[in-house]
Structure 1
Amino acid sequence: MRILRAATVTATVSALAVVAAGCGGGTGPGGAGSNNSPKTLTYWASNQGPNVEADKKILLPELKKFEKRTGIKVKLEVVPWPDLLNRILTATTSGQGPDVLNIGNTWSASLQATGALLPWDRKNFDAIGGRNRFVAPALGATGAPGKDPAAVPLYSLTYALYYNKQMFKDAGIAEPPATWDELITDGKKISKGGKWALGAEGGNLSNNIHQAFALGKQHGADFFDASGKPDFTSAGAVAAVKQYIDFMAKDKIIAPGNAEYGQNQSLQDFAKGRTAMVLWQAAASSFAAHGMKADEWGVVPVPVPSGAPGTGKQTNSMIAGINIAVFKNTDNLDGARKFVRFMTSDAEQRLLNKTYGAIPPVKAAQQDAAFRRPDTTVLRETLARSAQPLPQIADESQFETSVGTAIKDLFADAAAGHPVTTASVKARLTKAEQQMAK
C-alpha cells in the first residue's frame, strides 16, 4: 500500500469542512462522474501496484466482470497518491468528482468532516451485505467515533518487522527480536563494517507518524486528549519520539543517511543487504521487485516492551489501509452501492488483496490460504490483536505534517551529531503543537 500525504493541502481540510458541507460532492453537472445514467459510474482508484498501468491491468478485468453482471459500465481512473488528496478536496468543493473513490483510511475523519461523502448507516451497510462482514479493527479507521462511517474498508495493512536471515546468522543471532531491548542488543552486533541493523525513512512524514504513534501507545500516549485537543508534549509522547530517534542518535543502529530517506528507500537498502531489519507494511512484493528471494527474509510482529503484542501498551502498529467511499451527491447511488458491494464481495476481496499483498477486511475472505502464509499471518494477527487506528479527527492530516516534520528535523539533528535530549524533543513537539493551533 502506498499512502503518501499531500502536505500542501493538510491545513486545508478543516477549512473546507464548512464549505463542502454546503455543496457536498459527487457528480453534479459537468463533474468527472457526471453522466445522469444508471448504467455508468466513475471510479477513482488509488495507486496500489508498482505503477498506474499495473493497477489498470489488475482492475480493468474486474470492472468488466462487474459490467457483465450488472450492465453498469465503470470508468476507471487510477490516481497517484501524491495527487489523490488534492483531487478529492477539489471535488468536495466543486461538486465535480467521481461516484466512487478510494481514500487512505487515515483521511476518513478529515473527509467525513467535509460532509461530501455518503454516510454508511445501517441501510447502506445492509445494501452491501451488512456491517458484520467486516473485521472490527478495520471499521475503526472509517471515521470519527460515534458517527456513521464515511467509507468502507477495502484493503487492510499493518506493520511488521522484516529481517534478513543471513545477516542475523552472520552476527550469531538465533532468533529475531521480540522486545526493543533485544532489537537494540541485536542491532549493535549487526551495525558494523558498513552494515546497519535497522532501516528508517526520516524524510517520510507519514512513516514517521506511524512509528511514533505505535511507540506512543506503548508509552501510554495518544497525542490528542479526549476532546480532540493536541497533546504532543506529554511525557509519553516525548518518550516515544525520543526512543525512535535514539535508534540513530544513541544506539547507533540506523545509518545517519536514513535521516533524508523518502518513500521506499529503506526497502531498497533491506533488499540489497545493507540493513538487516525494516519496519514496514506488506513488503514481500517490494523485496521481490528488488531481487530479494522469499527465503532470504523472515517476518515477525513489531516489538513491544513485554515481547507479547496486544492492546493498550502492547499496541505495535497503526491500522493502515484503503477505504472505498461514495460521493453523497452521486447521480447513481444504487449503482455506486452495487459497485461497493462487488468490490467488498468475498471473491473480489480474496483476489484483490492477494494481488496487492494486503489483508482482506472482510472476515470470510481471510480464510483463503494466501492469508495464512507466515508473512500474511503476522499481518492478519496484528490487525486483529494489536493494531489501533490513528486518531480519527478532522485535523489528522495536519497532525501528520506537523509531528512528522518535527521527527524529520530531529533525525537531521541526530545525523549531524547534534545532541538529541528530552528537552530538544519536547521543544520540537511544542512547536508542532503550536502549529496545530493556527
Structure 2
Amino acid sequence: MRTFRAAACAATAASLLAATTACGGGSPTGGGGSNDKPETLTYWASNQGPNLEADKKILTPELKKFEKRTGIKVELEVIPWSDLLNRIVTATTSGQGPDVLNIGNTWSASLQATGALMPWDDKAFEKVGGRDRFVESALGSTGATGSDPAAVPLYSMAYALYYNKKMFADAGIDGPPATWDELVADGKKLSRDGKWALGAEGSNLSNNIHQVFVLGKQHGADFFDSRGEPDFTSDGAVAAVKSYVDLMAEAKIIAPGNSEYAQNQSLGDFAKNKTAMVLWQAAASTFESQGMKEDEWGVAPVPVRSGAPGPGTSVNSMVAGINMAVFQNTDNLDGAVKFVEFMTSDEEQKILCSAFGSIPPVKSAQRDPAFDRPELEVLRKTLAESAAPLPQVPDESQFETTVGTAVKNLFAAAATGREVTTETVRAELVEAEQQMTKQ
C-alpha cells in the first residue's frame, strides 16, 4: 500500500463519500503506511465474473506470469461492486490505497477530481503503447474532457437485450423487440403463469442510472447542462425515468419483487427461466455459471423509441467498461505502469476479455477470432455506433447515487401499487437535484 497527500483531495473525496451508500469505517484491507517492499504491488480488481472466486481463478495465473517476467509480485484483492466505490473513496480520504486499481469508467471524472490518481499524459501512454492502441469510445470515458485521462481502458462493454428463445417461441413471438412499444406488447404475452417478461434491479443504483441515462438520451435529456450542473428535472429526464418505472407500474411486465433486487439477481431469474428478457452488459459467463446453455438465449440491441439504433440517432447503451488506474503516490510507479502495460497487452487482453466475456478496448486485440461470437458482435457494433458515455463530470458518482435512489423509490412505490405519475417522478428528481446542490 502507498500513502499520498490526502489533504490535496479531501474536499472532493468528502463529497464523493457523502454520496455513496453503506460507507465502511476503518482502513481498507491491506492498508497502512509506505511499503518497504517496492517489488510488491497491491491491486484492487473489480468483480467481472459470476463471483469473486471466479475472478481470482482467472486473474491469479496471469499475475504469476507478470511476476515471473518482471520479478514484481502482485497482491490481489477482488472487490464486489457494492463495495468498490466506497473502498476507493475511503482510500482517498484516509491516505491509504493500493498501487493499481480497477474503476468503473463512469467514475473516472469523479475520482480524477480527488487528485489521488496518476494522470495519463502522452508520455505515460507511450509506456503502454500509445493512445492510438485504444478504441476512441473507451478513451472517452477515462476522465474529464480537456484533461489528461485518469485511467487506461481495460475492459469494454455495452448493454444488450438478452432473451429466452424457448419462452419467446412458446408465446408465439418470432424474434426480439426492436422498439420499446414492441417490448411492452411482447412483454404482455410473456408475463403469464407466474413468469415475467423483463428482469430489473430496482435496488441496484448504478444499473438504474445506466437504464435511465439511455432512455434520457432517447428523450433528448443529458441530466447535466453544458456547465456540468445537474439538470434532473427537464421534461426529457422526467419522461425517461417514468418510462422505465412504467414497465412495472403501468405495463406490468416486471415483477414487483424486482423493486428489491440488487446486483445480478435479475440474471439469476433469467438463467432459471423465470423472466424472458434482461438488459445487461456481457452476461454470457454468468448465464453459463448458472447452468444456462448458450443456445438457450439470444442477444439483440437494446430497444429504441422508434426505428433502429445507429450513428448519431438512437443511443441504446452507455459506454460501459472498466478502467485501470494508478494511485498518484505509489512508491513503485515504474512497476505500476509496467503492470498496466502487461494487463493491456494484446496477449492479456485476449485472455482476460475472453474469460470475462468483455470486449478488448485495444484495437488490435479486438481482431482476434475469439471475439467474433454473436453476443460480442452485437456489443461491439453498439459501442462503435450507438453508445454514449455517461457525463464525465466530477459529480457523476453523486448522480448515480441520488438519481439511482430516486428510481429505486419509484420502483418501490410501483411494487406496492401506488400510482407513479409525472408529478411523483418529477418530485423525486427535484429532491435528487436538491441533494446534489447541497453537497
Quote the Cα distance in structure 1 between the aligned partners of 2:130 and 2:301: 31
1:229 offset after TM fit, Å? 0.9
Whether 1:327 aligns to 2:327 is yes
Q: Say which is worse superposed, 310-319 or 98-107, in terms of deviation.
A: 310-319
Q: Is the 8 A contact 1:100 1:336 kept in 2?
A: yes
Q: Scaled by the length of structure 1, what TM-score is found?
A: 0.91
The Cα offsets for residues 304-336 of structure 1, whole Å up to 9 and x where unpaired, read as 123321245511111222111111111121111
The Cα offsets for residues 50-104 of structure 1, whole Å up to 9 and x where unpaired, read as 3333322222211121122222222222233333223322322333322211111
Counterpart position of 1:248: 248
The Cα offsets for residues 120-166 of structure 1, whole Å up to 9 and x where unpaired, read as 00000011100010001111111111111000010111110001111
Quote the Cα distance in structure 2 between the aligned partners of 1:139 and 1:33: 32
Counterpart position of 1:73: 73
Quote the Cα distance in structure 2 between the aligned partners of 1:248 and 1:68: 53
Q: Is the 8 A contact 2:313 2:386 kept in 1?
A: no
Q: Cα–Cα, structure 1 residues 436 and 194, in superposed 2: closer, same or farther, change >3 Å?
A: same
Q: Is the 8 A contact 2:12 2:113 kept in 1?
A: no
Quote the Cα distance in structure 2 between the aligned partners of 1:109 and 1:266: 29
Quote the Cα distance in structure 2 between the aligned partners of 1:253 and 1:15: 37
Q: Is the 8 A contact 2:110 2:397 kept in 1?
A: yes
Counterpart position of 2:3: none
Q: Is the 8 A contact 1:16 1:93 kept in 2?
A: no
Whether 1:414 aligns to 2:414 is yes
Quote the Cα distance in structure 1 between the aligned partners of 2:185 and 2:50: 35
Quote the Cα distance in structure 2 between the aligned partners of 1:84 and 1:193: 38
Quote the Cα distance in structure 2 between the aligned partners of 1:149 and 1:35: 26
| Secondary structure at the counterpart of residue 247 of structure 1 | helix
RMSD value, Cα: 1.9
The Cα offsets for residues 347-402 of structure 1, whole Å up to 9 and x where unpaired, read as 10010011011111111111122211111111111111111111111111111111
Counterpart position of 1:387: 387
Q: Cα–Cα, structure 1 residues 231 and 312, in superposed 2: closer, same or farther, change >3 Å?
A: farther
> Which residue identity is paired with 2:389?
P
Question: 1:39-438, aligned counterparts within 5 Å?
Answer: 39-438=39-438
| Secondary structure at the counterpart of residue 161 of structure 1 | strand
Q: Is the 8 A contact 1:350 1:365 kept in 2?
A: yes
> Which residue identity is paired with 2:95?
G
Quote the Cα distance in structure 2 between the aligned partners of 1:172 and 1:88: 48
- 5+ unaligned residues in a row in structure 1: which ranges? 1-10, 18-29
Identity %: 75
Quote the Cα distance in structure 2 between the aligned partners of 1:274 and 1:77: 33
Q: Is the 8 A contact 1:33 1:99 kept in 2?
A: no
Q: Cα–Cα, structure 1 residues 51 and 78, in superposed 2: closer, same or farther, change >3 Å?
A: same
> Which residue identity is paired with 1:205?
L
Quote the Cα distance in structure 2 between the aligned partners of 1:95 and 1:12: 14
| Secondary structure at the counterpart of residue 401 of structure 1 | helix
Quote the Cα distance in structure 2 between the aligned partners of 1:241 and 1:16: 23
> Which residue identity is paired with 1:309?
P
1:298 offset after TM fit, Å? 0.2
1:33 offset after TM fit, Å? 8.1
Quote the Cα distance in structure 1 between the aligned partners of 2:288 and 2:310: 30
Counterpart position of 1:23: none
1:235 offset after TM fit, Å? 0.8
Quote the Cα distance in structure 2 between the aligned partners of 1:43 and 1:14: 23
Quote the Cα distance in structure 2 between the aligned partners of 1:368 and 1:114: 37
Quote the Cα distance in structure 1 between the aligned partners of 2:36 and 2:329: 11
Q: Is the 8 A contact 1:233 1:426 kept in 2?
A: yes
Quote the Cα distance in structure 1 between the aligned partners of 2:75 and 2:392: 31
